Amino acid sequence: MPFWNVISSSSSKKKKRKEEEEPTEEKLPTGCLHHKNHEKTATGAITSDERMNSETNNHHHINNEKIKIIEIEHLPLMENDPKHLLKIVHMSDSHRFHENLKNFPEGDVFIHSGDISHKSEWKDCENDQIQTKELESNFKCAPSVISFNKWLDKLPYKVKIVILGNHDIGFNGISPNFIQQKILPNAIYLQDQAVIIKYKGKHLLKIYGTPWTTSRNMGFSMSHSLIDQKWKEIPEDVDILVTHLPPFGVMDLAGGSEPQQYCDYCKKNHKYRRHWGNVALRKRAIQLNEKGKLKAHLFGHVHEFHGLEIERHSKGKVPLIYSNGASVTNHNDTDVKSPNVIEIDMDEIPDKK
């Protein structure tokens, strides 16, 4: 039986904490709409002229459309692994404390799935800022974000990918292109975008990142009805999905207001806990896995969990790995958990030309 058939209809009536309440459409941040310069969908290949005009990041070619392309000549860990396993190092929700991470596991690709800052650093920002050049010209970056970008440059990984989260509220109204060029040049920044990693000229991996949550009056906020449309935009051929919001029922139990709330999905009472994950997001992840492409879904947002799980409701040919990379237990926790490591068998990924 599909997991969504056992979700209680009463779950939608649960009280939500103020931060997580669904916003009305009138309060929807206009920053969630695509800037007119980013509405064009890339074809998947960039011309020689586009290569010359694209931003360069650690010798990678970055295209500012819907699809970015980077080219890698060497991935030593994968090359030396007898099983050709690609190691993805995943963390999330570092909330200003990224520099407290002392142990860096070996890996080929590093991914951070949002909340690099804390909302308290953006006191002068509004949740509904309109995307304008004036806003970008007067942009004041939180100190932790500046520090985070410098920290990224020191990480020992060939590829570094970042999305933002609901606490990164200062980026509402700021274009993805501005964030990539001016704020996070030491990483590949994804906002409803994909990056194709080419290895020795051949397609290796396609990763898609999207930051949206249903948090209210926060960064990248969106109503439940509109966020479901965002999941439909995830490409069919994506290998790795990166979101800030968890899928429903997967390492997503967090603060709730009810002392006793029976959960039809878990078949037990939750004490002051409820599922923060999104049903439509999990449906989409399962659908993409069953099509034979999606191998892993990386997220954060819920600090109470940190680890890996396998999707048990998918009939896909390969397992769908979930990773909650939340690095701190609470917003004042200076102890940063070691990142998760996800191993992807490159022999299982279909040949893509």
Question: Quick check: is 290 in a domain?
Answer: yes
Give the CATH number, domain containing residue 322.
3.60.21.10
Two tokens, residue 316: 């896909």
Burial of 351 (0-12, 13-18, 19+ CB in 10 A): exposed
Does this model's pTM top 0.85? My answer is no
Q: Is residue 123 part of a domain?
A: yes
Residue 60, domain member (yes or no): no
**146 secondary structure, DSSP code:** H
| Separation of alpha carbons 89 and 111, rounded Å | 6
Please give the chain's pLDDT, 353 residues, in tens: 566 554 533 344 444 444 443 333 222 222 222 222 332 222 222 222 333 233 333 444 444 478 999 999 999 999 999 988 999 999 998 888 888 988 889 999 999 998 998 888 887 665 555 555 677 888 888 899 999 999 999 999 999 999 999 999 999 989 999 999 999 999 999 999 999 999 999 999 999 999 999 988 899 999 988 999 999 999 999 999 999 999 999 999 888 777 777 888 888 888 888 888 999 999 999 999 998 799 999 999 987 888 999 999 999 999 999 999 888 877 676 778 889 999 999 865 444 44
Q: For residue 43, is it within any domain? A: no
Domain count, the chain: 1
| 16 domain-assigned | no
- Among 241, 245, 246, 166, which Cα is nearest to 209's? 241
Q: Is residue 198 part of a domain?
A: yes
Residue 326 resides in a domain: yes
Residues 77 and 87: their CA atoms lie apart, in Å, by 8
Asked if residue 34 belongs to a domain, the reply is no
Q: In 164-295, which ranges are E strands? A: 188-189, 193-199, 202-210, 240-243, 253-255, 261-263, 268-270, 273-275
Q: Residue 338: which domain range? A: 67-348
